[in-house]
């Protein structure tokens, strides 16, 4: 089995290698993809390779029938009109609130200022989390290494992904709160889900067989 006539957007980055391994197990050819780091479109295989954060965009607008991306991306882009079909079970990490280990920055700033300053690459997730727990938060969006923000005094805490916790420890941070468990997910374009229901159902059925 290949991609069964479907176009699939897959993520470059941390999930890339395991996604290609999964496609191999499904019978798709990934040899050309593995050998071409710069090429993005593989028409014969029905595969697009894009940034993880762009996968929902390509799927929502119909450039791809299916996509694979992390749950963290889907949480941050919850407005996207895509269907989440299947938890692929790899790429496990956790979305957390972390802060310096030496103090209680989530408590003191709230008591003193009535607000906590939070740096993150996930502004929507962070804002929703603090709002849902009745706390005011000033969200500072950063693109690079978010662990640097509390060290330099930019913020009181961060919201970020962690897999092993090693990076947190190296920067003097500890986990304070858990927000969500994140793994790779299969998503579908709503129109394709109707018009190509048989093909998509067959693809998902094969995935279930591999679990």
pLDDT digits (tens, 9 = 90+) for 76-111: 999 999 999 999 999 999 999 999 987 776 776 666
Model confidence, pTM: 0.91
Are 57 and 87 found together in one domain?
Answer: yes
Residue 196, SS3 per DSSP:
coil
Are 86 and 110 members of one domain? no
**Residue 135 and residue 197 in one domain:** no
Asked if the structure places residue 106 within a domain, the reply is yes
Same domain, 105 and 167: yes
Confidence of residue 114 (pLDDT cuts 50, 70, 90): confident
Same domain, 67 and 137: no
Same domain? 201 vs 165: no
Using an 8 Å Cβ cutoff, are 18 and 90 in contact? yes
108 in a domain, yes or no?
yes
* 189 shares a domain with 175: no
- Residue from 54, 78, 79, 72 nearest 64 by CA: 54
Euclidean distance between CA atoms 31 and 20, whole angstroms = 9
Domain check: are 206 and 147 in the same one? no
In this structure, is residue 1 part of a structural domain? no
Please indicate, yes or no, whether residues 122 and 171 belong to a single structural domain of this protein.
Answer: yes
pLDDT in tens, 26-85: 988 899 999 988 889 998 889 999 999 999 999 999 999 999 999 999 999 999 999 999
Q: ∠15-21-27 over CA atoms, to 5°?
A: 135
Domain residue limits at 200: 8-91+183-210
For the domain that residue 12 is a member of, what is the CATH number?
Answer: 3.40.190.10
pLDDT in tens, 116-139: 899 999 999 999 999 998 889 999
- Claim to verify: residue 166 and residue 104 sit in the same structural domain: yes
DSSP 12-46: -STTHHHHHHHHHHTT---HHHHH-SS--EETTTT
Q: Do 111 and 82 have their domain in common?
A: no
Residue 197, domain member (yes or no): yes
Q: What is the spatial distance between Cα 207 and Cα 205, in angstroms, rounded to a whole number? A: 5
Distance between CA atoms of 154 and 186, rounded to whole angstroms?
Answer: 36
State the average pLDDT over residues 148-171: 93
pLDDT at 13: 93
Domain count, the chain: 2
Which of the given ranges, 3-7, 105-109, 111-115, 173-177, has the highest pLDDT on average?
Answer: 173-177
Evaluate whether residue 3 is within a structural domain.
no
Q: Looking at the structure, do residues 201 and 175 belong to the same domain, yes or no?
A: no
Q: What is the pLDDT of residue 17?
A: 96
Q: How far is CA 53 from the centre of its chain?
A: 7
């Amino acid at each position: 089995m290949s991609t069964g006539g479907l176009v699939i957007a897959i993520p470059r980055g941390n999930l890339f290698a395991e996604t290609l391994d999964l496609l191999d197990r499904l019978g798709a050819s990934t040899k050309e993809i593995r050998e071409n780091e710069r090429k993005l479109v593989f028409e014969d295989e029905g595969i697009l390779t894009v940034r993880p954060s762009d996968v929902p965009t390509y799927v929502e607008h119909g450039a791809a029938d299916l996509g694979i991306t992390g749950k963290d991306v889907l949480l941050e882009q919850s407005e996207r009109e895509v269907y989440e079909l299947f938890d692929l079970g790899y790429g496990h990490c956790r979305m957390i609130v972390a802060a310096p280990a030496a103090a209680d920055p989530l408590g003191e700033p709230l008591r003193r200022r009535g607000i906590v300053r939070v740096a993150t690459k996930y502004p929507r997730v962070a804002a929703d989390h603090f709002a849902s727990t009745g706390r005011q938060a000033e969200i500072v969006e950063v693109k690079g290494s978010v662990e640097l923000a509390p060290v330099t005094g930019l913020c009181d805490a961060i919201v970020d992904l962690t897999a092993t916790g090693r990076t947190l420890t190296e920067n003097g941070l500890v986990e304070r709160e858990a927000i969500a468990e994140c793994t790779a997910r299969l998503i579908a374009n709503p129109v394709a889900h109707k018009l190509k229901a048989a093909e998509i159902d067959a693809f998902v059925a094969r995935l279930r067989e591999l679990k």
